[in-house]
Amino acid sequence: MAEMKLVGRMLSPYVRRVAIWCNLQGRPFESVAVAATDPDQVDLMKTFHPGLRVPVLVLEDGTKLIETMAICDWLDDSMPDKRLVPATGLSRRDCLQRIGLAHSTVEKVVSLVYEKNRRPEDLHWKDWQARVITQIGGGLAAMDEAAPADGFFGGAAPDGSDVATVCAYHMAKVTNPFLVEGKYPKLAALAERAMTLPAVAETFPG
Ligand SMILES: N[C@@H](CCC(=O)N[C@@H](CS)C(=O)NCC(=O)O)C(=O)O
Task: Assess whether 44 and 69 both reside in one domain.
Answer: yes
Domain assignment present for residue 122? The answer is yes
Query: Side chain identity at 200, as an amino acid letter?
Result: V
pLDDT for 2 equals: 80
What is the Cα–Cα distance from 84 to 73, expressed in whole angstroms?
9
pLDDT in tens, the chain (206 residues): 689 999 999 999 999 999 999 999 999 999 999 999 999 999 999 999 999 999 999 999 999 999 999 999 999 999 999 999 999 999 999 999 999 999 999 999 999 999 998 899 999 999 999 999 999 999 999 999 999 999 999 999 999 999 999 999 999 999 999 999 999 999 999 999 999 999 999 999 97
Which CATH number belongs to the domain containing residue 41 in this structure? 3.40.30.10
What is the Cα–Cα distance from 135 to 65, expressed in whole angstroms?
29
Task: Assess whether 96 and 149 both reside in one domain.
Answer: yes
Q: Could you tell me the distance, in angstroms and rounded to a whole number, from the CA of residue 37 to the centre of ligand 1?
A: 10
Task: Assess whether 152 and 104 both reside in one domain.
Answer: yes
Q: Could you tell me the distance, in angstroms and rounded to a whole number, from the CA of residue 148 to the centre of ligand 1?
A: 29
What is the Cα–Cα distance from 77 to 86, expressed in whole angstroms?
10
The β-bridge partners of 7 are 32, 56
Q: Could you tell me the distance, in angstroms and rounded to a whole number, from the CA of residue 170 to the centre of ligand 1?
A: 16
pLDDT for 206 equals: 78
Domain boundary (65, 82, 99) is at 82
Q: Could you tell me the distance, in angstroms and rounded to a whole number, from the CA of residue 32 to the centre of ligand 1?
A: 15
Q: Could you tell me the distance, in angstroms and rounded to a whole number, from the CA of residue 53 to the centre of ligand 1?
A: 5
Q: Which domain holds residue 14?
A: 4-82
Task: Assess whether 95 and 176 both reside in one domain.
Answer: yes
The β-bridge partners of 42 are none
Please state the atom number of ligand 1 nearest to the C-alpha of residue 8: 9
Q: How many CB atoms lie within 10 A of CB 113?
A: 17
Instruction: Please tell me the pTM assigned to this model.
Output: 0.97
The protein residue with its alpha carbon nearest to ligand 1, atom 11, reads 53
Which CATH number belongs to the domain containing residue 177 in this structure? 1.20.1050.10
Domain boundary (82, 102, 132) is at 82
Closest alpha carbon to 204 in 53, 10, 3:
10
Task: Assess whether 169 and 123 both reside in one domain.
Answer: yes
Please indicate whether residue 153, judged by its CB atom, sits closer than 6 Å to ligand 1.
no
What is the Cα–Cα distance from 1 to 28, expressed in whole angstroms?
12
Please indicate whether residue 184, judged by its CB atom, sits closer than 6 Å to ligand 1.
no
Task: Assess whether 69 and 169 both reside in one domain.
Answer: no
Please indicate whether residue 12, judged by its CB atom, sits closer than 6 Å to ligand 1.
yes
